[in-house]
Homo-oligomer: A and B are copies of this chain.
Amino acid sequence: MPGLQDIKVAVDAVVFGYTSKEGLSVLLIKRNIEPFKDVWALPGGLVGNDEPLEDAVQRELKEETGVSINYLEQLYSFGNPNRDPRNRVISITYYGLVKPDAFELKADTDAGDARWFNIKNIGQLAFDHNDIISAAHNRLKSKILYEPLGFELLEGKFPFSELEKLYMAVLDRPIDRRNFKKKVTKFGFLEETNEKQSLDGAGRPGNLFKFNEEKYYQLKKDGISFEI
């Protein structure tokens, strides 16, 4: 039973980004203070005394990486007594999605560097941050099955194959192109434009699509059944 309680409260953010070149990526910072100095870690930090948790994540994210994000969702709270070698710190974690190109990454005093890392290419991180990312990735994989996904991660107009590749990157498995298109089209949150993709290499240029934002958010609220 506690005498005087001495536990610190932190927030950490798992921010996912996607580009067709890089695949599914996570935003990390390099710590420039001990413990774990010079080790990569999730952006995050202590919560202010009168600061709502969401504000704290946004603030830390902005300070440490320059990224703002309009949608963050609480993931899990990690409270193992030994997860921080100094004192007891529990971390309330959040995850979110962002277009990596939308921000110029910056570093500040707390963070020596900020970079995107492909989800498959993340080394040993500080604290229990590998576990946190793994939990976030699992959540994302299951979330994708009952909520539409993509609007937060793709540019305004994109060829259909981009969405396919995004889903394959998130789920980390192949998808049948025809069935995927049938299913997505039926939901009606995509609109076909008249424009065509400007190809970089060979291949038939695809039509460009865009999200119907209204339907997208409607379906996000209502929930979908998306078995790919």
Say yes or no: A52 contacts B76, CB within 8 Å.
no
Interface class of chain A by DSSP:
loop
| A95 nearest CB across to chain B (Å) | 14
Identify which of A33-41, A42-50, A214-222 touches chain B: A42-50
Interface size on A, residues (CB 8 A): 26
B2 & A48 in contact (Cβ 8 Å cutoff) = yes
B77–A52 CB distance below 8 A:
no
Bound: A79/B90 CA distance, A: 13
A77 and B92: CB pair below 8 A? Answer: yes
Contacts of A47 in B (CB 8 A): 2, 5, 7, 79
Contact check, A79 vs B52: say whether CB atoms are below 8 A apart: yes
Q: Is residue A149 within 8 Å, beta carbon to beta carbon, of the partner chain?
A: no
Inter-chain contact A2/B49, CB cutoff 8 Å:
yes
Closest to A9 in B: B7
Give the chain B neighbours of A199 by CB distance below 8 A. none
The 9 closest A-B pairs by CB, nearest first: A53-B79, A77-B77, A2-B48, A7-B9, A77-B92, A50-B81, A2-B46, A5-B46, A5-B8
Seed contacts A1-B59, A2-B46, A74-B76; 18 additional CB < 8 Å A-B pairs: A1-B48, A5-B8, A5-B9, A5-B46, A6-B49, A7-B9, A7-B49, A49-B81, A49-B88, A52-B79, A52-B80, A52-B81, A53-B77, A53-B90, A74-B77, A77-B77, A77-B92, A79-B92
